[in-house]
Amino acid sequence: MFDDKVRELPTLRWAMVGGGKGSQIGYAHRCGATRDGLFRLVAGAFDIDPQRGREFGVKLGVLPERCYDNYQTMFALESKRDDGINVVSIATPNSTHYEITKCALLAGIHVVCEKPVTFTLKEAEELKAIAKDHGLILGVMYGYSGFQMVHQARSLVQNNLLGEIRVINMQFAHGFHSQEVELNDPGAKWRMNPNISGPTYVLGDIGTHAFYLGQLITGLAVKKLCCSRQSFVKSRAPLEDNAHVMMHFENGAVGMLWASAVNAGSMHQQKIRVVGEKASIEWWDERPNQLIYEEQGKPSQVLERGMGYLDSHDDAISSDRIGAGHAEGFFESWANVYARFAVVINAANANDWQTVNATWFPDVDAGIEGVRWLERCVESADNDEKWVAYRE
């Protein structure tokens, strides 16, 4: 069990920017990071409103003097303390990711940044370079990537049980924004604003999750793509609330991705199906403990988390917190990702780059590919939905 090994690691001193009171994803970060005692929350600039942020931080057990008015102050002061933070998680709206991440890295602090990591590819590459120069980890919070069955899927592909990959179909399509709910929902509102959200809405907000899972499982590079996006709620233009993307991959495989916030009645429907010449696999985030494995000509199989037949040599697969049959969920996935961050941050602190390189975690390259994919989708969608090459 992965956790047993990582539990020996030193606890990291951890801060958050954003994720304040009432925020959507702050709680998930705190649950994920602290779950195994690997991160201890000791500082924060939790809120755009400093006062509210401080009150919130204190309730979380952070010392008042380490609840900062803004991230700049926090990074400046913390980086001078002996017991200053090692790592910060950034859970603010998209437009701020680049600046905050850069500021943290320049202060010598490891970063876990929310997705999408920046608005442009250029910015993302720049952050990567800074992180590298300073010997720092820059992780990106693809929170679904900690599910064990996603890694089992990846392992089946890597062990060639599917044969050559032919088709990758991905989707993340909920219905919660079928109507103009942003009128009364600030958490939705900024997502429809290109200044804050960036050049996309559903593609960057949720499509990028499904895309990353497809990438993580198959490892296949996109060759070209064609994207069509719509603003079914008109006031959302130019940002889309629905998009279809057709893709060709370098190895000759093809695929589709459907991202939507207007898929009325659907909860999430994040599903990844990978079809190989011998078998297919399918994973669904609402039934995350199961993985369908279908060998052509054989009965379809339902693989279950925690079972002995899984590829248990892979830490990511065997990170069970409770026996098979019990429903693990979203928060365990996040904790698994954070455990990986702890491994690589501790390794980086020890200058052990071999471990960093040998350890899977959603790294800055994953973030860069996410941004590249969004850029290409927009380029296609906004140019008569023509096909565009994925790399220049």
Ligand X SMILES: NC(=O)c1ccc[n+]([C@@H]2O[C@H](COP(=O)([O-])OP(=O)(O)OC[C@H]3O[C@@H](n4cnc5c(N)ncnc54)[C@H](O)[C@@H]3O)[C@@H](O)[C@H]2O)c1
Residue 194, helix vs strand vs coil: helix
Q: What track of x and - describes contact with ligand X for positions 212 through 251 (by CB under 6 A)?
A: ----------------------------------------
CA distance 59 to 44: 12
Q: How far is the CB of 285 from ligand X (least distance, A)?
A: 10
- As a whole number of angstroms, the distance between CA 146 and CA 151 comes to 8
Tokens for 186, please give them: 């600030």
The residue count of the chain comes to: 392
Residue closer to ligand X (CB basis): 205 or 320: 205
R_g over Cα of the chain: 20
Tell me whether residue 336 is exposed, middle or buried, using C-beta atoms within 10 angstroms of its C-beta: 0 to 12, 13 to 18, 19 or more. Answer: buried
Give the residue from 270, 120, 129, 282 showing the smallest Cα distance to 208.
270
Positive/negative CA dihedral, 218, 219, 221, 226: positive
**136 within 8 A of 344, measured Cβ to Cβ:** no
Give me the least distance between CB of 231 and its own copies, in Å please.
Answer: 10
Q: In this structure, how many other beta carbons lie within 10 angstroms of the beta carbon of residue 148?
A: 25
Q: Provide the minimum distance between the beta carbon of 50 and ligand X in the complex, in angstroms, as a whole number.
A: 9
List the one residue from 71, 211, 341, 390 that touches ligand X (CB under 6 A). Answer: 71
Residue 386 within binding range of its own copies, rule CB under 8 A: yes
Q: Which of 45, 127, 130, 378 binds ligand X (CB under 6 A)?
A: 45
The single residue among 25, 161, 196, 226 that binds ligand X, judged by CB under 6 A, is: 25
Site for its own copies contains 340 (CB under 8 A): no
Q: Which stretch binds its own copies (CB under 8 A): 12-20, 44-52, 108-116, 267-275?
A: 267-275
**Half-sphere CA count of 108, side-chain side, radius 13 A:** 9
- Cβ-contact 35, 64 below 8 angstroms: no
Site mask, its own copies, residues 177-216, x = CB under 8 A?
-xx-------------------------------------
Report the partner that residue 20 touches, choosing among its own copies, ligand X, none (CB closer than 5 to 8 A by kind): ligand X
| Interaction residues for its own copies, span 25-44 (CB under 8 A) | 27-28, 31, 35, 37
Q: Can you tell me which of 70, 248, 311, 379 binds its own copies, judged by CB under 8 A?
A: 248
What b/e readout covers 71-85, taking b as 16+ CB neighbours within 10 angstroms?
Answer: beebbebbeeeeebb
Q: Does 253 bind ligand X (CB under 6 A)?
A: no
**Using the 8-state DSSP alphabet, how is residue 237 labeled?**
T
Interface with its own copies, residue 131, by CB under 8 A: no
Give yes or no for residue 226 binding its own copies (CB under 8 A). Answer: yes
**With 0-12 CB in 10 A as exposed, 13-18 as middle and 19+ as buried, what is 95?**
middle
Q: Which is nearer to its own copies, 74 or 335 (CB)?
A: 335
CB 269 within 8 A of CB 257: no
Is 92 a binding residue for ligand X by CB under 6 A? The answer is yes
> Taking phi first (over 0 means left), then psi (-120 to 50 degrees means alpha), and beta for anything else, what does residue 50 get?
alpha
Smallest separation (angstroms) from its own copies to the CB of 259: 11
Based on the shown chain and the rule CB under 8 A, indicate whether residue 246 belongs to the binding site for its own copies: yes
Q: Does 288 bind its own copies (CB under 8 A)?
A: yes
| Residue 309 near its own copies by CB under 8 A | yes
**Does 263 participate in binding its own copies (rule CB under 8 A)?**
yes
Q: Which of 12, 85, 87, 91 binds ligand X (CB under 6 A)?
A: 91
